[in-house]
Amino acid sequence: MAFIELLGYLGALVVGLVLGLIGGGGSILTVPIMVYLIGLNPLVATAYSLFVVGTTSVFGAFQNYKKGLVDLKTAIVFAIPAFIVVYLTRRYFVPIIPDVVFTLNSFTVTNDIFIMIFFSVVMLLASYSMIRGRKNIMTTEKQNLFYNYPIIAVQATVIGVFSGIVGAGGGFLIIPTLVLIGKLPMKKAVGTSLFVIAVNSLFGFLGDLSNIDINWPFLLTFTFISIIGIFIGSYFSKFISGKKLKKGFGYFTIIMAIYIVYRELF
C-alpha cells in the first residue's frame, strides 16, 4: 500500500509538470491517479481533483495577472455563472446520482461507473482540442472592444455542468470560448482561463465539503507536490515545444480514455 501511495504522489508531481508544460490537463491525470492508484471512489476523486486543479491554477493565474494577461472583466462575467453551476452540481446533483443508474441486460451501471465513463467522454473532447490545436483561431487586441457576454454566460453554464460532474477545470473548453466568443487574444485567453478554472474548481470543491469526508493531510500533500511540479514544468517549458507536447498529450489522453472505458465496462 505504501508503494502504491508513493506512486500516487509521484503522479501528483507529473500532474504539476503537465500543467506547467502545457497549461492544462491536470484533472485528466488527477482523477485516474486517485481512482486507480490511490483507490478512492470517483466521487471523492473528482472532489479532490477540483481542489488540486483549483489551487494550482491560482498560482498560474497570479503569474499571468502580473504580466497583464488576465482580463478581469471577462473573467468575472464567465466565472460567475460557471462557479454557481459547478457549486450547485457538486452540492446537489452529484450526491443524488443513484447507486444504480440503469441496468442493461445483466450489466449494471453504478454511479461510480457512470462518473468515470462520463469523465472518459470529457477526456476525448479534451484530446480533440489538444490534437487539433488552434491554428484557425485568430484575434487581435482591437477585438476586445466588443464582448458577447450573454453567450459567454451560456457557455460558462454548460462548462460548469461538465466541470461539476467530472471534477475537471475545463480549460480545453474555456479557452476556445474566450477566444472565439470573448474575442480575447490567445495569451490573454490562457491567463484568463486559469483565473476562471481556479474560481470554478475551488467553489465546486466547497459544494463537496458537506457531502464527503476530506482527508486533508493527503489532499494538501498531493496538492503541494503538484505545485512543485508546476514550477518545474514552467521552467522546462522555456526549452520544450509546448505545441508538440500538447499534441502528444492529446494522443495519450485518448489512450487513457479507452483504458478507463475498458476498465469500467469489462
Q: What percent of the chain has pLDDT over 90?
A: 32
Give the model's pLDDT for residue 148.
67
Give the model's pLDDT for residue 221.
93
- Which of 101-105, 237-241, 243-247 tops mean pLDDT? 101-105
- To the nearest 5 percent, what fractions of the chain are helix, strand and coil? 75, 5, 20
Q: Which three cell numbers stand for residue 222?
A: 498531493
Give the model's pLDDT for residue 89.
93
Query: 34-38, 159-163, 176-180, 256-260: lowest mean pLDDT where?
Result: 176-180
Give the model's pLDDT for residue 140.
47
- The candidate with the shortest Cα–Cα distance to 43, out of 202, 158, 208, 201, is 208
Q: How many CB atoms lie within 10 A of CB 135?
A: 7
Give the model's pLDDT for residue 44.
94
How does pLDDT run across 116-157, given as a tens digit for each residue? 999 999 888 888 877 876 554 444 444 443 556 677 778 888
Q: Which three cell numbers stand for residue 132?
A: 487539433
What does pTM read for this prediction? 0.85
Q: Regarding predicted confidence, which is higher, 266 or 221?
A: 221
State the average pLDDT over residues 194-218. Answer: 91
Q: Regarding predicted confidence, which is higher, 196 or 170?
A: 196
* Residues 16, 21, 23: CA angle, nearest 5 degrees: 80
How does pLDDT run across 154-180, given as a tens digit for each residue? 888 888 888 888 887 777 778 777 777
Helix ranges (DSSP H) in 67-185: 72-88, 111-132, 149-166, 171-180
3 state DSSP class of 110: strand
